[in-house]
Amino acid sequence: NAGVTQTPKFRVLKTGQSMTLLCAQDMNHEYMYWYRQDPGMGLRLIHYSVGEGTTAKGEVPDGYNVSRLKKQNFLLGLESAAPSQTSVYFCASTGRGGYFGSPLHFGNGTRLTVT
Amino acid sequence: SQKIEQNSEALNIQEGKTATLTCNYTNYSPAYLQWYRQDPGRGPVFLLLIRENEKEKRKERLKVTFDTTLKQSLFHITASQPADSATYLCALDPDNYGQNFVFGPGTRLSVLP
């Protein structure tokens, strides 16, 4: 039981390049999330999904796209990377949604640098 | 505007003492609050949840309180140990719809031997 797995762990991009971050969970969770974490700003929600085939915008969605084609996977795409997207990206999942107070399970992050 | 604040960016305490971390929120009415621990290079790990109708929750050396009038949650670690050194985050569901979570910036706790 691996929990939440993020790939890759590290990546360096040049401005304008594109990439996709992959999140996979093996807990059969319905809800999945992408956050970014920057010093002094805490975790900020980029996009989230409440089920297969559905996605929604969070607090800071600009410059990112997501897809949830399979229940266990949530992909975060950067179409044209910018230095402002240098950050640590965390994926999380939960089983019953926050209404029940179900805790989030996080991956160990992807450290992205855009030069 | 809505925001969550945690008392200080960093807190140093001596081993064996009680650490108290504060989470204050503005313009939210959360049904519950959660606390997480984050170690360097790792994702946050869930510790405790406290609901609005609960004044206090305990788990081993951890204690959380929730005061909806003050819009504040306190997180205590008693008999602190160097292994408790980490960043602690509070989180709430801003809409109580169960669809997303908002996190505070975190407090980095260092327990000195």
CA B86 to CA B11: how far, in whole Å? Answer: 10
Convert the pLDDT of each residue in A51-87 to its tens digit: 999 999 999 999 999 999 999 999 999 999 999 999 9
CA A55 to CA B99: how far, in whole Å? Answer: 11
Q: Do B98 and A4 touch (CB under 8 A)?
A: no
Q: Are strands A110-114 and A54-57 parallel, antiparallel or unpaired?
A: unpaired
Chain A residues closer than 8 Å to B49 by CB? 101, 103
Q: What was the pLDDT predicted at A38?
A: 93
Task: Indicate which of A30, A90, A99, A105 best probes the interface with B, i.e. most B CBs within 10 Å of its own CB.
Answer: A99
CA-wise closest residue to A23 among A80, A77, A97: A77
- Please check whether residue B91 touches A, CB under 8 A: yes
pLDDT > 70: what percent of chain B? 100
Burial class (CB in 10 A: 0-12, 13-18, 19+), B92: buried
Convert the pLDDT of each residue in B67-113 to its tens digit: 999 999 999 999 999 999 999 999 998 887 777 789 999 999 999 99
Convert the pLDDT of each residue in B6-46 to its tens digit: 987 899 999 999 999 999 999 888 888 999 999 999 999 99
Q: Concatenated DSSP letters for chain B?
A: --EEEES-SEEEEETTSPEEEEEEEES---SEEEEEEE-TTS--EEEEEEETT-SEEEETTEEEEEETTTTEEEEEESS--GGG-EEEEEEE-SSSSSS--EE---EEEEEE-
Q: What was the pLDDT predicted at A98?
A: 56
Q: Do B100 and A108 touch (CB under 8 A)?
A: no
Chain B residues closer than 8 Å to A98 by CB? 93, 97-101
Q: Do A99 and B96 touch (CB under 8 A)?
A: yes
Min Cα separation A14/chain B (Å): 23
Q: Do B34 and A100 touch (CB under 8 A)?
A: no
